[in-house]
Amino acid sequence: MNDMRVNTLPSPTWKWLKMNYADVKDVQEAQACSPQVEIPEGSPAVVGRTDAAVYREYRTGVGYDMVKLVDTAGDLAYEVAAEAGQKADKPVVLRMDFDADKSEAIRVVLRAEEGSELTVIMVYRSKKEAAGQAAVQTYLDVKKNAKINLIQIDVLGKGFRFFNDIGGRLEDKGQTDMTNIILGGKEIYEGCSVDLAGRESSLEADIGYFIGNTVKLDMNYEAVHHGKKSECRMDANGVLRDKAEKLFRGTIDFRDGCAGSVGNEKEDVLMFDDGVINRTIPLILCVEEDVEGNHGATIGKLDNDLLFYMESRGIDEQSAYRAIADARLRSLCRKIPDSAIRCRTENYFESGTEECE
């Protein structure tokens, strides 16, 4: 590997904005990484290995260069599956501890067969001050009437370059509920492309990022509606501090035949400090008449009325910002169905350590 082009916008715009894609220099070939897999007692979830060949044609958010990067690790994918009719509602946890000064990659397949439900938490960790390169590619295969709940938590070290990529396909009435919490790393590339292929399939995605220092976060989320009456909701909430820089690409793509579909996308960015850079490009692409697509974005500082209210109650501006950021994170953390991981995530945000009593 050398350079990668990632997070390509489905429909490009002016080059001078530098939003059409991200070019990543000096990408290191990867070694295989073994996750620590925790399956709750009595869970019907099945964990195995697969070559993931059938998923290679899935479109992913980061893009094809990610496939090539993960291939350099030369390892089989880890597969977590719920067989037909099985409800694995207690979460399977994949804990990935990435070593410092290494480049590691892993591919994961999450498969929910017809009428099943699967909940998976993926935690990306390293030592607090560590630097390295990590790459995780996750395929979601959601069959008819099935559901995957996926929670991804990034608490990587301060020097990490991290690629996190998702590609998914949902059959009729298939559902995916996704929560992505981004707290760690130095240079982060997040991509997700979900094909709402089936009738009444639905995607819910909550993305939360809380970044500071000189962290760069580059995201590309896509919901591609093929199925009739398919629905998506993408909410991105974030807080930028210090000299952090973030780019969010969010696309709702209504394709031919997706009549009756609805797509909603919302972004709320709190720009904490004056050195931050926020870039946003939300797309709605539409070739179908009978659809409804909405996008809204609010970018800037805290609302003056809210700030006045808090200051009149003795909370200074910095504390007010901190309280709002904290509230945003906690609202996302409530979606983590494991109290220990939830506690560690909140603590990482508050103190930079995952220690919990």
| Cβ at position 61, least distance to other proteins in Å | 18
Closest residue by Cα to residue 170 from 134, 188, 194, 205? 194
Q: How far apart are CA 125 and CA 99, in angstroms?
A: 9
| Cβ at position 255, least distance to other proteins in Å | 11
- In the complex with other proteins, the residue whose CB is nearer, 301 or 335, is 301
Q: How far apart are CA 23 and CA 21, in angstroms?
A: 7
Number of H helices, E strands in the chain: 4, 21
Closest residue by Cα to residue 8 from 306, 178, 282, 249? 249
- For residue 127, how many other CB atoms are within 10 A of its CB? 16
Residue 249 identity: R
- In the complex with other proteins, the residue whose CB is nearer, 47 or 297, is 297
The number of angstroms, rounded, from the C-alpha of 103 to the middle of its chain's C-alpha atoms is 20
| Cβ at position 340, least distance to other proteins in Å | 35
Judged by DSSP in three states, 102 sits in coil
| Cβ at position 188, least distance to other proteins in Å | 19
- In the complex with other proteins, the residue whose CB is nearer, 290 or 350, is 290
- In the complex with other proteins, the residue whose CB is nearer, 15 or 313, is 15
- In the complex with other proteins, the residue whose CB is nearer, 41 or 289, is 289
Q: How far apart are CA 285 and CA 252, in angstroms?
A: 6
Integer-rounded Cα radius of gyration of the chain: 20
- In the complex with other proteins, the residue whose CB is nearer, 130 or 276, is 276
Q: Which residues bind other proteins (CB under 8 A)?
A: 11-15, 17, 19-20, 240, 254, 256, 259, 271-274, 276-301
- In the complex with other proteins, the residue whose CB is nearer, 23 or 129, is 23
Dig out the tokens for 99 from the structure.
């070593």
- For residue 80, how many other CB atoms are within 10 A of its CB? 24
| Cβ at position 11, least distance to other proteins in Å | 6
| Cβ at position 228, least distance to other proteins in Å | 12
Strands 87-97 and 117-125: parallel
| Cβ at position 179, least distance to other proteins in Å | 24
Most distant CA pair in the chain, distance: 60
